[in-house]
Chains A and B, each alone.
Chain A
Amino acid sequence: MKDIQREDLHLISRHSSISEQGVERAIKEKVYNDPENWKKFLRLLLMTLGIGFTTAGIIFFFAYNWADLHKFAKLALTEVLIVTTTVIALLPKLKNSTRNIILTGAAFLTGVLFAVFGQIYQTGANAYDFFLAWTLFISLWVLVSNFAPLWLLYLILINTTFVLYSQQVAKEWPEIFVTALLFVFNSMVLIASVVLSKYQKIKDVPTWFTYVLGLAIAIFGTGAVVIGIVDTYQPLFPVLMTIVTALFVLGIWYGLKIKDGFYLAVIPLSFIIIISALLFKISGDFGMFLLVSIFIVISVTLVIMNLINLQKKWKNEN
């Protein structure tokens, strides 16, 4: 019996005469982390904290007498820092996880470098080209390391660059268009990562990564549709609605296929919010508020019921 979980022990202890010591032994053996896990955890924790604090300390030190430094010194210092970390990451003795953490540190330092550059030449800290440059110059590391946290940073940078570009350069782009593009782009990334890992072109994508991405996609999709509903005239709206519906249906299909409740919880919730927005669009009087409130309770309950049934079904199939 391998997968005894905390819940099992809780439930069974309610209906048995098992003693505290018995539960204690079982829970320590089956649920709690064993020494091996502790070692891994401590190693990772201490190393991350050590590297993080030391780098932060160095950065703060230069920030301290920053104003007095010559601009050449400023740029050189940051570049030396980047080069050193990257060289350390290349040391052959390192474990892959260590290498990736160091490379992630270097990716952040690249951002620092462009910030320094922006500070010297007054390009402004939130200019889109700052984020664009940062994104471009870490691309290679992202691809080489294929490390999920680094990929997440990369995606955040791309999204930020795009949002800033739409605000600073393409001012005429309507809000709905920007949100819809973000929705489509992130969906494509998620789909690509799922497909690629399925055909074993890349190593398995961690679940937390797909969840974070999935959540962002749901928020962008729901946001875009709700903006479309609230604004009076949007020629893009029918197109958007089709794409969102198609991708959401795809998401539900995928959730059913891989038996993952996450997609079957998030996507229906998006639909519920969209329908509520539609209802409010029709009328804003007190009757509608009552209707929406009842609608949410019933629909969320139905979604949960459906999820529970599915989980039972999946469990029986296994």
Chain B
Amino acid sequence: MRTKEEIKEITDYLQTKEKREIQFNEEAILEDYQKNDNHQSLAIKILSVFGGVLASLAFIGFLMLAGLYDSDFGLLFFGTISIVFGIGISKIHDKIIIDTLSVSSYMIGFILLGIGLSKIQVHDNTICFIFMLIALISLGISRAYILTFISVLMINGTILVLLISNKFFGFVQWYTCCLAVVLAVLYIKESRIITFHKTGSILYNPIRIGLVFSFLSGLVIVSKADWIKISFEDIWITSAFCIISVIYLLSHLFEVLKIRKTNHKTVIYLLSVLLLLPTVLSPAISGAILLILLSFLVNYKTTLVIGIVAFIYFISQYYYDLHFTLLTKSILLFSSGILFLGLYLLTHKKLKSDEKI
């Protein structure tokens, strides 16, 4: 929540960034600040999701004990009502305090509908499509943060289930590649997206964080394929996409850091590729690096932390799973360590000399 004076300061500042006169709808801005509470801390968001999940579990327990499980019609009916209620209430009161109620209702609806549909022998694929459709509709209607976030996760989940249960394993990789590209575009083109349409700026944050989790889930599946007893043939495809995206990001970075000399650039490109090459068999690592760099580029701390945690996890998993002898692993680790230190010394000099100017 900002005061009128602060808003005036911000709009004045923004005016300096533009040559022509900008029209500000000050009333609408003030109203949005008052109504929207969109400055919510992470604590509140986690609280509403966590509360929603706990309440849904208890409510499902109630429904099952009350005998709803025996009635197919009851399950479908309550499921649908619940989803409609969840979306509806978030639409009517788009305040964050409604979130817990709307999120629990939305999730309960999906669970009941899922059980109901599978009890009347609807094919899994059809259930997935129905879920995806509902989530898409909700994405179109709702403007609430958490509901949008859950819908994105739902759509991603149904796509992954569809691809895996129908044995289109290769497409899981392509899907993850697409997510990498979409994420990169979303991060880099932030100002484009939020100025393109009003909805863009409202849905931008929840969709971005939703896609981050979707991307990570894709990476986990691709790199831990043996969990679900499948194997990928051309696993390098996803890595190649991620590595190319990282390299592309580096070119952005050169602008920020004002690195202009071609030989500097070439050495950094080469070293980076050299560093990433041993991880070609584990796209999750280059994916996590991509996420870290993107998040730092736009200064988005939440996904930066997620990226770092994912990176540490993926890298330990990688060396744990690798079917090499300890000697090979040791050489791989040692040489990448030396490369990192080399890169450090190289950039250290470069960065220092920049500082002096």
Contact = CB atoms under 8 A, between A and B. Distances in A.
A53 B337 contact: yes
A261 B45 CA distance: 12
A26 B13 contact: yes
A61 B194 contact: no
A23 B204 CA distance: 15
B101 interface: yes
A218 to B, nearest CB: 12
A265 interface: yes
Interface string A260-271: 011001100100
A49 interface: yes
B58 A292 contact: yes
A134 to B, nearest CB: 20
Contacts of B343: 46, 50
Interface residues of A, number: 84
> Which range holds the interface residue count of chain B?
35 or more
Secondary structure call for the A interface = helix
A119 interface: no
Contacts of A20: 191-192, 195-196
A20 B195 CA distance: 6
Contact of A304 (B44, B59, B341): B44
Contact of B334 (A5, A16, A26, A57): A57
Interface stretch (B28-36, B118-126, B127-135, B237-245): B28-36
B10 A1 contact: yes
Nearest to B59: A293
Contacts of B334: 53-54, 57-58, 60-61
B168 to A, nearest CB: 36
Interface in A10-41: 10-27, 29, 31-33, 35, 37-39, 41
B55 interface: yes
B341 A50 contact: yes
Contact of A297 (B101, B335, B339): B101
Interface stretch (B77-85, B210-218, B220-228, B321-329): B321-329
B66 interface: yes
Given A18-B14, A289-B65, A42 B351 contact: yes
B111 interface: no
Given A1-B10, A53-B337, A293 B253 contact: no
Contacts of A5: 39
A290 B62 CA distance: 5
B41 interface: yes
5 contacts: A16-B23, A21-B18, A47-B344, A294-B55, A297-B55
